[in-house]
Amino acid sequence: MKQLAGKKGKRKEEDWIEDLPPMYLERRKQRKRKKLLRGLLRAAVFVAVLAAVWFWNGFAVDIRLAGDSEVTLEYGEDYTDPGAQARFSGNLLQRTPLEVAVDVNGVVDTAHLGTYTLTYTARHKLDLRILKLTFTDTATRTVHVVDTQPPLLQLITKPDHSTPPGQAYEEEGFTAVDNYDGDITHLVERVEKEGTVLYKVTDSSGNANEILRQIRYSDLVTPELTLLGDAHVRIPQWGSYTEPGFSAVDNVDGDITGRVTVSGSVNTDVVGTYLLEYSVADSYNNTVTATRTVTVEKVTPNGKVIYLTFDDGPSAHTQRLLDILNKYNVKATFFVVKTGYLHLLSGMAAAGHTVAIHSASHQYARVYSSEDAFFTDLREMQSIIRNYTGKTVTLLRFPGGSSNTISRNYSNGIMTRLTTRIKQMGYRYFDWNVDSQDAGNATSAADVYNNVVNGIGNRNVSVVLQHDTEGFSVEAVDSIIRWGLSKGYTFLPLNAGSPACEHKVAN
């Protein structure tokens, strides 16, 4: 072979191959054919593999669940499986998907708590004659059967059952029923506290319930109601009724006097019999009542007389005083002065009151400077009264009273001369034997009332001194009249025939 090439250059392969022996030429051709076949086989296998991959991946079964893949059901609830759908789809050879049947494996038992798994399987067989293929897909659904309902807890209430105060509660009963566990009454826990019982129960699933009972306490013992004083009270007409009092005690509540109510009233102005009803109830509505009878009796005059007299008016308080007097049909005497309320004089006289002379000026330095000055002042007031009432009055009260000593400052012995001369001229003067002190130490209606009542004492004739210029003194008149009427006194106005009431002259 080497010799064939020589040094003169290479020969073409075709030239020197032809020079080979036939045996070598045949072997060479065989080797070329085998090499070609091996290359073709490799290419064929490669193409076959690509075709198989393409063919195989182009087919599939796909399952899709209807509804949720995880479901929670209440114990005992009906369960209907929503199912699943499956389709088989392919490559260019199978353009339209095919519906594939789905098999379900597994059950859901809602009568038992737990977690259940449903398995859905879909299969499709592809027959290619030379090749049979099966395609499969699976899916699962999880179903939880749970119990979230609390037990039903009920109390038994007996209509006639009650607990006496201070005693332990006697259980009336209760029941507890669970939708899963059934009767669980034995699991109920109870706590009694401050008039209540709390019941609690929990089922096997941890669902709890509770209920509160208010204990009904009963007390069949009625309170004791006691009336203080007499059950039948007698008071005179116009007297004052003062409630004697009462007390109430209960076996459970203790002192319940503050709960006592009183119905009815007493009008001491009107003779008659009045009923007062006392009632009290304890905390358990046990009620007791009591009755007191009050008889207002007509008063028979005892011959004693009270003359109410008022100096220095009329004033802004006089009309209120006239209204009080009119209320009891009581007549009084007014020793008047020259004020800005002289228009009331005509009404006083028309109502039957005595309008008498006090002073026109009520100035001691003026009226007691001389006898002439006194009578000048007297006649001026006498004339004013006549102008308003049409009457010439001869009753008077000296400013300061006949026993005053202030007159000494202006004329020594003038009161002795005036008291004598007045009588000679046909006048009558009146002092007082009961002083209300409304121009002195008294500062309230209560002071005036006490001074007058204590001053009257057991006198047969009382001439009371008050001033209708003082509002608190006027306020006391109502009580004074009621007291006097209830004691049988007669109220009269002063007149020329009234018993004398004169002080000892001190000047």
- Give tens-digit pLDDT for 279-330: 999 988 899 999 999 999 988 778 899 999 999 999 999 999 999 999 999 9
**Domain contains 40:** yes
What CATH number does residue 129 fall under? 2.60.40
pLDDT at residue 5 in the model? 44
pLDDT at residue 59 in the model? 76
DSSP letter at 222? P
**Domain contains 499:** no
Nearest to 199 by CA among 166, 172, 167: 172
Same domain, 134 and 173: no
Nearest to 397 by CA among 468, 338, 333: 333
Q: Which residue has the tokens 């003062």?
A: 242
Per-range mean pLDDT, top range of 132-141, 162-171, 412-421: 412-421
Tell whether the model's pLDDT for residue 53 goes beyond 50: no
Average of per-residue pLDDT values in the chain: 89
Helices 471-486 + 318-328 axis angle, to 10: 10
Query: What percent of the chain has pLDDT above 90?
Result: 73
**Domain contains 335:** yes
pLDDT at residue 387 in the model? 97
Among 210-224, 360-374, 470-484, name the one with the lowest average pLDDT: 210-224
What CATH number does residue 264 fall under? 2.60.40.10
Same domain, 70 and 97: yes
Query: How is residue 135 written in tokens?
Result: 């395609």
Same domain, 458 and 330: yes
Same domain, 68 and 178: no
Among 58-72, 303-317, 445-459, name the one with the lowest average pLDDT: 58-72
What is the domain range of residue 23? Answer: 2-57
CA–CA distance, 250 with 264 (Å, rounded to integer)? 24
DSSP letter at 312? S
Same domain, 37 and 181: no
**Domain contains 496:** no
Same domain, 377 and 473: yes
Same domain, 319 and 196: no
Same domain, 66 and 47: no
**Domain contains 435:** yes
Domain finish residue from 17, 42, 57:
57
pLDDT at residue 296 in the model? 94
**Domain contains 192:** yes
CA–CA distance, 99 with 88 (Å, rounded to integer)? 6
| pLDDT interval class at 173 (50, 70, 90) | very high
Query: How is residue 458 written in tokens?
Result: 């057991």
**Domain contains 167:** yes
Nearest to 332 by CA among 503, 442, 314, 342: 314
What CATH number does residue 390 fall under? 3.20.20.370
CA–CA distance, 383 with 381 (Å, rounded to integer)? 5
Domain finish residue from 42, 57, 72:
57
**Domain contains 144:** no
pLDDT at residue 408 in the model? 96
pLDDT at residue 301 in the model? 76
Instruction: State mean pLDDT over 173-189.
Output: 95
pLDDT at residue 163 in the model? 82
Same domain, 456 and 481: yes
Same domain, 486 and 464: yes
Contact 276, 294 (CB under 8 A): yes
Contact 344, 319 (CB under 8 A): yes
Tell whether the model's pLDDT for residue 363 goes beyond 90: yes
Nearest to 313 by CA among 288, 332, 294, 293: 332
Same domain, 121 and 39: no
Q: How many domains does the chain have?
A: 5
CA–CA distance, 436 with 451 (Å, rounded to integer)? 5
Instruction: State mean pLDDT over 6-29.
Output: 63
Same domain, 326 and 377: yes
Instruction: State mean pLDDT over 386-394.
Output: 96
CA–CA distance, 195 with 197 (Å, rounded to integer)? 7
pLDDT in tens, 98-148: 899 999 999 999 999 999 999 999 998 877 676 677 889 999 999 999 999
pLDDT in tens, 209-242: 999 999 887 778 899 999 999 999 998 888 889 9
